[in-house]
Every structure is written in structure tokens, then in C-alpha cells.
Amino acid sequence: MGNSFGKLFEVSSWGESHGGGIGVVVDGCPPLLPLCENDIQPFLDRRRPGQSKITTPREEADKIEILSGVYEGKTLGTPIAMLVRNKDARPQAYDEMKTKFRPSHADYTYQMKFGIRNHEGGGRSSARETISRVAAGAIAQKILSFEGINISTYVERIHNIEMPAKSGFPTLQEVEASPTRCPDPNTAEKMEKRILEAKKAGDSVGGSIICRTTGLPVGWGAPVFDRMEADLAKAALSIPATKAFEIGSGFKGTFLKGSEHNDSFEIRDGITRTKTNNSGGVQGGITNGEELYFRVAFKPTATVLKVQNTVNDEGKETELMGRGRHDPCVLPRAVPIVEAMAALVLLNHRMIHNAQCKSFFFED
């Protein structure tokens, strides 16, 4: 339950943080798509641990293996199974967590729900599970690229350090130029310093990520329950450590009057466009052809290297000192995860739209 995502392009994730590995099965990928490990590995390289001094030092190459669904470099239209093996698991660092619940982690809720849990690295609740999302999202992004759709995702704020608004569409090279994945060099430098300060103090910081997409046509999405923004919100908030989602003007838009917030229509180069984009590229749950953009907020990493009050599995109050290898800030590594989930939502809506609106032709 709760381990599959998507309708026509369905992703099923499996594996634990310190188990044999993390895997994913992608069902619904169209046949004849050129695909190999090299198409997926760059996305995992952006997510993997040990990238820089501001990420967890866990040493994992996160090498992807395609086990099925691809033959002679092309997809078969059958389920694609992929695997990343765990190489640098150190479960002994979590011995104390076997009986004690870590504050703001899933330890307590997993124990109460299932009556059993894998305490090593958080098991299934670990963000290491997101390997599956990024691998599947890489396939989705490759398919979307054939339609001229571009996704740019980057860190906009760390703690109280926020980059200035960027009107241009950041390139991947601009985003990857800093270990913080903030495309503004001056802000990125300040962000890195703040993260290192938190790390030195045994603490952590959070922030927000913005995801921007261009090249979308009018018409993707659906009314009522399957609105584009609703599916994006579910996708984003399914990522570990997320606390909030907003699309378009978001919370700031609530400070405006309707006359100020409305996106007036105009004809530009023979096409209906909006003068502003407070809607974030979605109106009535359906894309309107403008840039689609949304933000996701991430909390400070729950594991801190400080003594904290907690309880144990016998219901007694106790103390716990955070141990193991953890990111002092999850945002830099979360960028490709947010990007992957956006791609999965967009591809599903592309397939659903074509199935409903472009598969049948009725004469007048």
C-alpha cells in the first residue's frame, strides 16, 4: 500500500536504506524509446550522497542496473525493472534507535501502524527510497524532452537566505555550478556557509525549492479531483522532509486583491496568452500554455547531533543522541527528486490527455 505512483505511467518503488538495495518497476513506458543506463545515471549522480562537504559522507556510487524491459537499447513496452545496490550501509550506527524513537522521524508512527519496523537508517522511511523516483523520473524526462518540454529545478532559499527573483530560465549548468544548486552565485556562497555553520554545530537547516517548466501545451490536467496542481502537490509532499507546497503566486497571492491577482488575457503572435502568470501556468486544474512553476518547502533535517528528549518502545521517557551519516540540509540533493516527481506527473497527464482527447475522432 502506498508504494506505487501514477496511472498510465506507473512507478512502483521498493527497498530499504540499509537493505540489499533500492529498486523500482516502471510500467506503461511506451515501446521503442532509446534507453540505457547512461540515460539514467546522470540524474542519480545529482541525488547520490557524498557529493560535497555539505552532504552526508555516505559513500555510494548509486550505479543503476536495468534488469528488464529494454532490449538492444530500446524499451519493449513491458515493465522496466531497475536496481541500485547498497554498498556502504553501516547499520550498527542505529543500534540505539532499535528501542528509542527519533524525534520528528517516522520511527514511532511506523511502529504503531505495523507493529514492526526496520530501525537501520529508517528502513523504508529513509530518503534513500527516492533513488527509485529519480530513476523513473529520468525516463519520464527523456520522453517529455521529445515534446520540447524543459524542467529547471533549483534551491531558492536556505534557512533565511533567499536568492533574488530570477526572470530567465536557469540552465542545468547554472544550477549545477554550486553544491547548493542555487543558480545565483552570490546567494549560493552564503547558503553554503550557512549549511556548514549548522553542520559544525551539529544542527541542520531547511528551505525551499522552486520547479519551473516551459514548453507545456494548453490542455494537460483535468477538472475536480485530478487537477494538475493537486497531483503535483501530492507528488511533492510525498517526498520525505517536505512541509508545504504552493503553485504560482501561492501564499503571497493572498495579500493581493482580485483585480491585482487576475491574469489578463491578450493575443500575442496570434496565440492567446496571459499578461502575468500568478496562476503558475495552471487554471481550473488544466495547463494554460504559460510557464508552470511551484515551490516546495523542506524542513531542517530531523537527525541532529545533539541530545534530545524522546521515549522508548516501553513507553518510558529517555534521551537520544543523533548518530549516523546525515545531510545538514537536504535541499541540494532534493532538487533532482522534486524534478523527477514533476516529470512523472506531467507525463501521466500527457498520456491521459492524449488517451481521452486525441484517441477518438467524431465527425460532425
**Mean pLDDT over each residue of the chain, to the nearest integer:** 95
C-alpha cell at 327: 545531510
For residue 88, pLDDT over 80 is answered with: no
Q: Which residue has the higher pLDDT, 328 or 323?
A: 328
Share of residues in the chain with pLDDT > 90 (%): 87
Domain that holds residue 240: 4-357
Among 6-15, 92-101, 177-186, 339-348, name the one with the lowest average pLDDT. 92-101
For residue 92, pLDDT over 80 is answered with: no
For residue 50, pLDDT over 90 is answered with: no
Residue 364 lies in a domain: no
Tell me what pLDDT residue 198 has. Answer: 96
Mean pLDDT value of segment 122-137:
94
From 66, 69, 97, 102, select the one nearest 82 (Cα to Cα): 66
For residue 274, pLDDT over 80 is answered with: yes
Tell me what pLDDT residue 260 has. Answer: 97
Residue 363 lies in a domain: no
Does this model's pTM top 0.85? yes
Tell me what pLDDT residue 211 has. Answer: 98
Residue 60 lies in a domain: yes
Mean pLDDT value of segment 205-228:
98
Residue 297 lies in a domain: yes
Mean pLDDT value of segment 38-48:
96
CATH number at residue 75: 3.60.150.10
The span from the CA of 326 to the CA of 311, in Å, is 22
- Residue where the block lists cell 554550486: 178
Residue 316 lies in a domain: yes
Tell me what pLDDT residue 1 has. Answer: 86
Q: Which residue has the higher pLDDT, 353 or 322?
A: 353
Residue 213 host element (H or E):
strand 207-214
Mean pLDDT value of segment 114-143:
94
From 228, 342, 247, select the one nearest 285 (Cα to Cα): 228
Please give the backbone phi and psi of residue 319, each rounded to the nearest 5 degrees, phi first: -125, 155
Please say whether the beta carbons of 273 and 266 come within 8 A. Answer: yes
Inter-residue long-range contacts of 170-174, CB under 8 Å, 24+ positions, other chains counted: 170/212
Banded model confidence at residue 33, pLDDT cuts 50, 70, 90:
very high
Say whether 103 sits in a helix, a strand or coil. coil
Mean pLDDT value of segment 208-212:
98
Banded model confidence at residue 167, pLDDT cuts 50, 70, 90:
confident
Say whether 8 sits in a helix, a strand or coil. coil
Tell me what pLDDT residue 364 has. Answer: 66
Mean pLDDT value of segment 220-242:
97
pLDDT in tens, 52-86: 889 887 778 899 999 999 999 999 999 999 999 99
Banded model confidence at residue 324, pLDDT cuts 50, 70, 90:
low
The dihedral built from the CA positions of residue 185, 189, 195 and 198, taken in this order, carries a sign that is negative
For residue 141, pLDDT over 70 is answered with: yes
The span from the CA of 198 to the CA of 54, in Å, is 10
pLDDT in tens, 219-230: 999 999 999 999
pLDDT in tens, 335-360: 999 999 999 999 999 999 999 999 88
Residue 345 lies in a domain: yes
Say whether 340 sits in a helix, a strand or coil. helix
The span from the CA of 276 to the CA of 264, in Å, is 7
C-alpha cell at 204: 541542520
Mean pLDDT value of segment 190-197:
97
Tell me what pLDDT residue 58 has. Answer: 77
Share of residues in the chain with pLDDT > 70 (%): 99
- Residue where the block lists cell 501561492: 250
8-state DSSP, 24: E
Say whether 4 sits in a helix, a strand or coil. strand
The dihedral built from the CA positions of residue 359, 361, 362 and 364, taken in this order, carries a sign that is positive
Tell me what pLDDT residue 313 has. Answer: 93
Residue 71 lies in a domain: yes
Residue 65 lies in a domain: yes
Domain count, the chain: 1
